[in-house]
Chains A and B, each alone.
Chain A
Amino acid sequence: MTLKEIHHTVKRPGRTQDHEPVEIPVAEELATVPGIVKKDNDVAWYSRNYPIVSQNVEKAADREWTWTVYTGEMYEYRKHHDEVNKPLVEAAYVSGDIVPTGTVESGRDVTEEIRQKARELGFGEVGFTKYDRKYAYKSKKAWVKYEHAICLALEQDYWQTQTIPSMEAEFAHFGTYEEEGALALDLADFIRDLGYRAQVHSPNDNSAAYIPMFVEAGLGQLGANGQLLSPHFGNRSRLMIISTDAIVSYDEPVDYGIHKFCEMCQVCVNRCPGRALVKEKVFWRGVEKHKLMYDRCRPVMATYEGCGVCMLVCPVQRYGMAPVMEHFVETGEVLGKGTDNLEGYEIRGKGYYGPGKLPSFSREFFEIPHGTKDEWLFTQFKQKIEEKGKVTEEEKQEFVKELGDILSEESIFDAGL
């Protein structure tokens, strides 16, 4: 005897090729819409008038600042990762210009061949949809080629991730990116062997906000933590896209019941060390979502090994979507909610925080640089004038030199590799 009526059941392939397919029951009261609630006109209007600016550009000042609060170990590891990753990002950047190596079989749909190959390579979720330029970053709009998007999610190590926040978890986080960047280049080669073009959109030099396309391809729904919750690993994956001109068929968005589930669950909202996640949804650029407070998130994330508590405490990440939804149907409760096992975490130097307990930080802890690097330089210069009433000739010259250095920085990558 189950407690809740089932509205529909979602069938998905297994976590890997070695696993059986899964069935996810969606309770009557959790059913909303396939994909996400959005106003297409609004999304298009914002894209035209205020195209999305990559965080790497818009928040470049705090991106640079993060290096100053890393621990020594984190600093060295991150430097190592950037060195290892750079050739992969560079290869992705020019991948769209490489000519196909095979000959096209006229009119043949190659969707399932590509999906099968991607699964063989290890991608846990693979979906096909239109590359939606409305979500492309301002800096990348001219770079993007080809109309179809192959959405690829690579699972991050289970055990390492459950140690969040930690260096161990950061090894999983950045290590997955390194693995994914290389696998995508292999998949692009496979597509070229079929006679088509393929452009690799790096997970570290993103061309767009990828999650909307993953949702459109039916690979999951947007969670309260602002991350894609997919059936097998929730938010514990790294996302990237390959765009192509191959003949493919699009997948459809799916209602996994996540919108209502997250409204009820709220574990990530309650457990965020920085209190950066919000309970209520808002419409943001035409999409209904839980919009996190960046300035509450970034300082914790930068200081404490990437934080990621919102990933750690998500029951869909920890247990998988099928057990979580099945438990809700049976009991009307969120599996693991309120327990130390799901909600507990340790913060370096601060200790253990179980359910109902959160760390506290000083007001100064949340004071970080804002905006682009030149904007932040102007802000500081203005502040200096306001405080002192005037600036010396030497300070003016120093300001002009620093501004010149920033404006002459050259990198084709938003991440500034």
Chain B
Amino acid sequence: RKTFQKENIDGLFGELNTDYKGMPDSEQLHRDAHLAIAYHDSGRPIPESIDPRVIELISKHGPKD
């Protein structure tokens, strides 16, 4: 299992900041993204409570096993 490296993190939050900037739920998306990365890096399943848009970003920007 590989963990998120700096380039993965920059890519994910770069897109998050561009696409969701100023939206009312952008702060919650940031919280969800950090939590989802932590679960990913620990090898545990990402909780269902995490926003689906964040799950997409994790798949897109995450390290390839």
Contact, CB under 8 Å: B44 / A159: no
Closest A residue to B35 by CB, please name it.
Answer: A319
| A68 part of interface (Cβ distance < 8 Å) | no
Contact, CB under 8 Å: A336 / B38: yes
Neighbouring B residues of A327 by C-beta, 8 Å: 42, 44
Tally inter-chain residue pairs, CB-CB below 8 A: 53
- Could you tell me which residues of chain A, from 324 to 360, have a CB within 8 Å of some CB in chain B? 327, 330-331, 333, 335-336, 339-342, 344, 352, 354
Task: Report the bound CA distance from A327 to B40 in whole Å.
Answer: 13
Neighbouring A residues of B26 by C-beta, 8 Å: 159
| B9 part of interface (Cβ distance < 8 Å) | yes
Closest B residue to A344 by CB, please name it.
Answer: B6
Give the Cβ gap from B7 to chain A, nearest Cβ, in Å.
9
Chain A: interface residue total (CB-CB under 8 A): 22
Neighbouring A residues of B27 by C-beta, 8 Å: 157-159
Contact, CB under 8 Å: A340 / B6: yes
Q: What are the interface flags for B39-65 relative to A under an 8 Å C-beta threshold, 1 for contact and 0 otherwise?
A: 101101000000000000000000000
Given A330-B44, A354-B6, residue A342 in contact with residue B38 (CB < 8 A): yes
Contact, CB under 8 Å: B38 / A162: no
Neighbouring A residues of B41 by C-beta, 8 Å: 336, 339, 341
Other A-B contacts than A157-B27, A340-B3, 16 sampled, CB-CB below 8 A, are: A162-B30, A319-B34, A320-B35, A327-B44, A330-B44, A333-B42, A335-B38, A339-B3, A339-B38, A339-B41, A340-B9, A341-B3, A341-B4, A341-B37, A341-B41, A352-B6
Name B's A-contacting residues (CB within 8 A): 3-6, 9, 26-27, 30-31, 34-35, 37-39, 41-42, 44
Name A's B-contacting residues (CB within 8 A): 157-159, 162, 315, 318-320, 323, 327, 330-331, 333, 335-336, 339-342, 344, 352, 354
Please give me the 10 A-B residue pairs with the lowest Cβ-Cβ distance, nearest first: A336-B38, A341-B37, A339-B41, A159-B30, A339-B3, A335-B38, A341-B4, A319-B35, A158-B27, A340-B6
